[in-house]
Amino acid sequence: MTKILSIDQSITSTGYAVIEGEKLITSGTLQPKHLKTTVEKIIYITNHLESLVNNDSISYIAREGFSFGSKNRAFVLGGLGYAIDCLFHKEYKNRYYIIPPSIVKKFITGSGNAKKDQMMLQTYKKYQMEFKNNDECDAFTIGMFLHNFLIWNKRKQETLHLKYEVECFKAFEKIVEK
pTM: 0.90
pLDDT at 69: 55
Domain span including residue 60: 3-177
**Total of domains in the chain:** 1
CATH of residue 165's domain is 3.30.420.10
Q: Tens digits of per-residue pLDDT, 126-166?
A: 999 999 999 999 999 999 999 999 999 888 776 778 999 99
Q: Tens digits of per-residue pLDDT, 8-46?
A: 998 889 999 999 998 999 999 999 999 999 899 989 999
Q: What's the number of CA atoms in the CB half-sphere (13 Å) around residue 143?
A: 31
Question: CA nearest 78: which of 66, 69, 87?
Answer: 66
Alpha-carbon distance of 56 to 4, in angstroms, equals 9
Q: What single string gives the DSSP state of each residue in 25-47?
A: EEEEEE--TT--SHHHHHHHHHH
58 by DSSP, 3-state: which?
Answer: coil
pLDDT at 74: 59
Q: How many CB atoms lie within 10 A of CB 156?
A: 11
| Structure confidence at residue 94 as a pLDDT band (50, 70, 90) | confident
The 8-class DSSP code of residue 162 comes to -
Question: CA nearest 145: which of 64, 26, 32, 38?
Answer: 64
* Residue 90 pLDDT greater than 80, yes or no: no
Please provide the size of the chain in residues.
178
Question: CA nearest 134: which of 49, 10, 15?
Answer: 15
Q: How many CB atoms lie within 10 A of CB 70?
A: 11
pLDDT at 20: 96
3 to 47, 64, 69: CA distances (angstroms): 19, 17, 31
* Residue 125 pLDDT greater than 90, yes or no: yes
